[in-house]
Structure 1
Amino acid sequence: MPQQPSAQVTAAEISRIAGVTRATVSNWRRRHEDFPAPAGGTDSSPLYDLESVRAWLASRGHASAATPSEELRTTLRLRVQSGGSGTSEGLLLLVLAAAGHTAAELTAATELPDADLVAHARRDTVAAADAVPAADPARFEAGDAAALRALYACVRDEGAQAALGVLAERELEDSAASGAYLTPAPLADLMARLIPGSPSVVLDPACGGGTLLAAAARRGARELYGQDSLPVQARRSAVSLMLTAPEATVTVRAADSLRADAFSGLVADAVLCNPPYGVRDWGHDELAYDPRWAYGVPARAESELAWAQHALAHLAPGGYAALLLPPATAGRASGRRVRQELVRSGALRAVIALPVGASVPLHIGLQVWVLQRPEPGGAERKSVLFVDTASAGPPADRTRGASRSASLDWPGVTARAVDAWRAFTEDAETFEGEPGVARAVAVVDLLDDVVDLTPARLVRASRSDADPAELSAEVDATRRDLARAAKALARAAGREEWSAAGAAAREWRTATASDLARGGALTLLRTVPEGTRGRAEDDGSGERAEVRAVLTGSDISRGSGPTGDPAELRSDMAPVIAVGDVLVRAVVGGDGPMARVAGEEDSGALLGLHIHLFRPDPKRLDAWFLAGFLGADENIAGASTGSTVLSVSPGRLRVPLLPLEEQRRYGDAFRHVHALRAEARRAMRLAEETARLLAGGLTGGQLLPTREAAEVRGPGGDSPH
């Protein structure tokens, strides 16, 4: 029988396998004559024989540093080259089956010979064959063995959700699907919390990966219904929900909800939805007389208002829906009549503006519309709530790419939205709101020629309600704080903790974090995602029951204490943070630091999902030295993988090998850098807050410019000084 050719890999994949940077791979090619020659590709993008590369790396002691999810991602790309079946439906079924195995059983599967492994995987998928919509029967072949082995290992080490994410990511690429995005988990939790009570039956008619339904399940929903026009998303959602909500009844269908509603007779307690945006071919002509359009036939450019009415049509009287919509829906001229009827009937209860970057598309500030199906003979709705979370203070940081959502101040955004909504629903008549943040607007004031429902416009109109004396006192207090912060920043900037290295930059030998962990110099911990097996390590203090909060990636970037909600951690396997731990954000992005050393304010908090925890042996590693080098830009870049979202592989981060006394000198310098950054951040925040209060007070009429200010400025507008 002819031997199948080995798979081929790129230089980038070699760097991931070896745990080095791409520049290092380029240096190997130039400096080592025995480095494998290209086996394909082009001069600018060569491909290398995988087995030859692995043999070369093994001869030099380079064990694979790729994480299990990275290894799965690579083997999926190479699967067709290796003679595999190339389809992912069977692998999705296998994830569901593998999640029911113990770690020992998964390890045993990875050690089987290829033929036995393929047979084992076929048997594993039989029980799950009917659970995933539109999935073909599993037909694994000999060329699938590497992918099967990588999948079992990924489920064992990183959890079924991690393996599921890699599979869906790959299948979306293969299908060239567009507009398929996950709703970020913090946003899904926020939308689920906007549904009052404890709904049991929840529908998402554009379910995507199932994030919104999973959030509903965490709040007690027991019947989950989802539909998506992309079969890959429907399959992904079904498997994900079965993993995360095993006690719930999950029903997912693959079809276009507007054109082919799979649940036409369903009456749900609540609807959560993040529908596709800006779709002109949504069925306007063929659905012109559809009974769902109780509030008016949506215009061709108003697919979002079609989704809103679809949600209302599936609600029981008095039931609530929360939809994530683009800001244009609130003011576009073509949607005026439908918006008017939604307001007039009392179906629209609230519009909540989110900060830019809350979800895709990242460049605009999306809105959450809260709808309620009117009850026959129910109370008249006299007002609509508008909340502008984007204007309630400066953002946590400004980032590029999909990681921007993870860096937002989600606890702050959620608190502002949920607190205002809860107070409004308790008694809309007496709701006072908050100037510049939340306001209840009378229905009669909204029914003008435009029916513009943009929160920023309506919320800012309430600034004149602020008391001039209170605002003046707040400005004075903030200015005093700013003056003190500026003095502290000047003192921090005046200290010198370093000297020039000389004619050339210093070079040193380094080791990876994986090497240091194997040698016992540090311990690497993480929070095990929901749906995985095993037990998270802790510090042995027995304080888990007294945890204050959860430390999030946003807390590290902002320099704040732990702000996450333990109830929303979605894992009972989170390590407890101790003083001296080094914490590194797992998602790259943002203006804040990537790493910090845990202090007293962090001690006892739970570790968030997107943070790596390094616990150094103080007799061998200085914590501040470790944090300084782990969080360095070049180090983070060399240990990061991904395209739109860059994730840090902790084992690939490198640390210089220096004596402990020299480490401490570097540690003192890094500690000063941390203090300087903290003082700068505090001064910037106070400067922004002072400017915001002054500008709002001057334009709102509460503050007046003084004659002295004009005299100091002098004629012509310039200061005489």
Structure 2
Amino acid sequence: MATEHGATVTAGDIARLAGVGRAAVSNWRRRFSDFPGPVGGTASSPLFSLTEVESWLRAQGKLQTLPEDELLWQKVRNSADDLRLLSLVSRLAAAVAHRRLTELLQADDSEVADALPDLVADRRDVPLIRATAALAESRGPAETVEFLYTRYTEAHSRRVQVIPPEVARLMAALVGPRSGEVFDPSCGHGGLLIAAGDGAGTVRAVGQERDGDAARLASARLAVRGIAADVRRGDALTGDAFPCLQADAVLCSPPFGERGWGYEELAGDPRWQYGLPPRGESELAWVQHCLAHARPGGQVAVLMPPAAASRRSGRRIRSQLIRTGALRAVVALPPGSAPQSAMPPHLWLLRRPDLGDRIPSHVLMVDATESREAVVPAWRAFMEDPQRETAGGGRAVPVIDLLDDDVDLTPGRYLLRRAAGPGVAGRTADELLAAVAELTRLIPSVADSPREHSFPAVPLGELARTGALRIVPTPARAERGEGDLALLTAEDVVLGRAPTGTAAGGPDLVVARPGDVVVPVAGRTPAAVVVEAETALGPQLLLIRPDPESFDPHFVAGFLRASARRAPGAASGVSRVDARRTLLPRLPLAEQRRYGRLFRELELFAGALRRAGEAGELLHGLVLDGLVSGDLRPGPGRGAPGPGAQESPAGPAGAV
């Protein structure tokens, strides 16, 4: 974006210019006093002068020549504000895809503007078109268009909804036409259509998208890949651009949870062959729209929110989809597989019924929340024999089992019984025994004190004022995303697990060092951890940095945990830590280390106790489900039968 300081760049742009990670840029800002200061933006997302940054990088020997593609992007980024950036990117991409672009660039600016009236909004766009064409000449049209698209999505990562490429490839593989028409009625930037058209064979891509700029970008991305395409602007539900289309396959990632999808005006629409979608079930309208645009026998794959599988308002339509044989499979995908939600989405696989088809007797249920690799093999095995139980986390469920009062299509509901399969309960019992043995080994060694201890104690706030330790709260919100630093969240601290996020750095980011103590500000479980490697901290945490010459960090962490247990509200399930009021005994460092070792042993004991409890709870459920379903039967037991009981004739076979 251009300001009074000229072209500006973000920290991510600087990292790309220098060929380093964003954490390195954050380190430069802290270490070098002459690093250019921000000229705009916000505290969490500052902007820097491109000229000043380029001069500094050259002076430090970190930049020899500005990369051609990055130079183009900075020109593009500084030629449009956030609201107009997609329009500019889509017009540049469409210009690259234009068949007469090379010929036109030999003409003067006014002739180019007259020849491309839809792509040149301002005469200042022509130099950008020329620069983009020059990059396309050296890098290739497809790579250039994809570069612009990628940079745009990175610049607007919080607002732009992009379907993950691996999910797009999975959906394309499941419907899998190698020729014919593939339709996406909510195609966004064209990700699903590209996945369908990138394989072997000849595919004609047909798409519709509400946003005109997104539709133009999708069309350009398809064109530069050599995929024949027809992408039109408009709302597919209220303004169907292809009313007569009967595609060989339909792929769709519809918007979730829309209430204004056209319920009143579309009440009598002929597409609702399975029932009028409820006002709050827009996804069921999209499912039926997709089926209406598939040829008889054509395959359909639609990403759905998990709630669509069980909402009572949609049970009639779900029932009709099953009764007619339209619904063939439901796959539970990992979190992050749908652009609209962080919740683990479902993938519905459907087939438009054909005259003379036999109604399928089973529906495939697959749990792919841990890995997507088994989905395609499970689907192919199911298609070969729909009544055979499928390996890889899937199960062919009889239709009669689905058509109860709820018509719940949640895969986990039908896969629980398989958990108690051969050997699983026995292995879980072994895990429980191992956890109990570990628990016994870790029982802390303590001794009764001959007299009541009364330690001289000082509040942490007082120690912070004297400089014996530091107390640093983290910001209320923290930037998460791709970066080089591990990010520890409050949930990670409570669960005692390793950092689960990443951070890209920034002036407000709090980074913990080895020996620091981290405490959640509030929570249901008292917790405090000692950091062992440099780690960024998420929101709702406190960093306590004790002087290692005066305090043992595990000693400090132990007393913080104890303070949280006694905090107001802890008895009712929620405690709030006021670290500055926590009393810390003043003991010699050697004595602190003795306490610190015992506090560490207590944490190991607590972890083993959790694992034993989880294994015991799992074993209880597995055996209960297995006995009821017939997958397990009573064994000989671990001791003599009680009074009046008889030995089981089954003997040891089937014992857990």
TM-score range, shorter chain: 0.5 to 0.7
Equivalences for residues 209-224 of structure 1 within 5 A? 209-219=189-199, 220-224=201-205
Structure 2 CA distance for partners of 1:249 and 1:44, relative to 1, 3 Å:
closer
The equivalent of 1:698 in structure 2 is: 623
CA distance in 2, matches of 1:191, 1:21: 38
Of residues 348, 364, 382 in structure 2, which corresponds to 1:424?
382
Three-state SS of the structure 1 residue aligned to 2:224 is helix
Q: Which amino acid aligns with 1:457?
A: R
Q: Any conservation in 2 of the 1:75–1:146 contact (CA below 8 Å)?
A: no
CA distance in 2, matches of 1:377, 1:214: 33
**Is 1:433 the equivalent of 2:390?**
yes
Deviations for 1:451-503, whole angstroms, at most 9, x for unmatched residues? 11111102224556x34xx55676699999x99xx9xxxxxxxxxxxxxxxxx
CA distance in 1, matches of 2:292, 2:617: 43
The equivalent of 1:22 in structure 2 is: 26
Q: Any conservation in 1 of the 2:395–2:415 contact (CA below 8 Å)?
A: yes
- Greater Cα offset, 89-98 or 442-451: 89-98
CA distance in 2, matches of 1:289, 1:589: 55
Q: Any conservation in 1 of the 2:204–2:229 contact (CA below 8 Å)?
A: yes
CA distance in 1, matches of 2:419, 2:46: 62
Deviations for 1:331-381, whole angstroms, at most 9, x for unmatched residues? 101111111111111111111111223333453111111111111222122
Of residues 297, 319, 331 in structure 2, which corresponds to 1:352?
331
**Is 1:261 the equivalent of 2:240?**
yes
Of residues 338, 346, 359 in structure 2, which corresponds to 1:380?
359
CA distance in 2, matches of 1:633, 1:225: 51
Three-state SS of the structure 1 residue aligned to 2:194 is helix
Q: Any conservation in 2 of the 1:94–1:124 contact (CA below 8 Å)?
A: no
Three-state SS of the structure 2 residue aligned to 1:266 is coil
Q: Which amino acid aligns with 1:295?
A: Y
Q: Which amino acid aligns with 1:160?
A: T
Of residues 273, 277, 297 in structure 1, which corresponds to 2:256?
277
Three-state SS of the structure 2 residue aligned to 1:414 is coil
**Is 1:163 the equivalent of 2:147?**
yes
The equivalent of 1:458 in structure 2 is: 414
Structure 2 CA distance for partners of 1:142 and 1:458, relative to 1, 3 Å:
closer
Three-state SS of the structure 1 residue aligned to 2:205 is strand
CA distance in 1, matches of 2:307, 2:291: 20
Structure 2 CA distance for partners of 1:13 and 1:423, relative to 1, 3 Å:
closer
The equivalent of 2:281 in structure 1 is: 302
Q: Any conservation in 2 of the 1:271–1:322 contact (CA below 8 Å)?
A: yes
Q: Any conservation in 1 of the 2:7–2:74 contact (CA below 8 Å)?
A: no
Once the two structures are aligned, what percentage of the paired residues are identical?
Answer: 37
CA distance in 2, matches of 1:207, 1:243: 17
Of residues 271, 274, 280 in structure 2, which corresponds to 1:292?
271
Q: TM-score, normalised to structure 2's length?
A: 0.59
Q: How far is 1:277 from its partner? A: 0.4
Q: Which amino acid aligns with 1:165?
A: Y
Which runs of no fewer than 5 residues in structure 2 stay unpaired? 439-481, 488-531, 537-610, 643-656
CA distance in 1, matches of 2:190, 2:640: 58
The equivalent of 1:443 in structure 2 is: 399
CA distance in 1, matches of 2:356, 2:214: 40
CA distance in 2, matches of 1:182, 1:40: 28
Q: Any conservation in 2 of the 1:189–1:215 contact (CA below 8 Å)?
A: yes
Q: How far is 1:202 from its partner? A: 0.9
Structure 2 CA distance for partners of 1:141 and 1:368, relative to 1, 3 Å:
closer
Three-state SS of the structure 1 residue aligned to 2:397 is strand
Q: Which amino acid aligns with 1:424?
A: F
Q: How far is 1:441 from its partner? A: 2.1
Three-state SS of the structure 1 residue aligned to 2:232 is strand
CA distance in 2, matches of 1:98, 1:27: 50
Q: Any conservation in 2 of the 1:8–1:49 contact (CA below 8 Å)?
A: yes
Q: Any conservation in 2 of the 1:339–1:451 contact (CA below 8 Å)?
A: yes
Equivalences for residues 79-118 of structure 1 within 5 A? 79-80=79-80, 87-96=88-97
Equivalences for residues 386-425 of structure 1 within 5 A? 386-390=365-369, 395=370, 409=371, 413-415=372-374, 417-425=375-383
Three-state SS of the structure 2 residue aligned to 1:261 is coil
- Greater Cα offset, 253-262 or 160-169: 160-169
The equivalent of 1:237 in structure 2 is: 218
Three-state SS of the structure 2 residue aligned to 1:452 is coil
Structure 2 CA distance for partners of 1:287 and 1:156, relative to 1, 3 Å:
same
The equivalent of 1:186 in structure 2 is: 166
Q: TM-score, normalised to structure 1's length?
A: 0.54
Q: Any conservation in 2 of the 1:208–1:233 contact (CA below 8 Å)?
A: yes
- RMSD after superposition: 4.9
Which runs of no fewer than 5 residues in structure 1 stay unpaired? 106-115, 396-408, 487-585, 592-631, 638-685, 712-721
Q: How far is 1:89 from its partner? A: 4.0
**Is 1:321 the equivalent of 2:300?**
yes
Structure 2 CA distance for partners of 1:452 and 1:44, relative to 1, 3 Å:
closer
CA distance in 2, matches of 1:311, 1:44: 42
Q: Any conservation in 2 of the 1:90–1:139 contact (CA below 8 Å)?
A: no
Three-state SS of the structure 2 residue aligned to 1:222 is strand
Structure 2 CA distance for partners of 1:37 and 1:161, relative to 1, 3 Å:
closer
Aligned length: 465
CA distance in 2, matches of 1:13, 1:253: 33
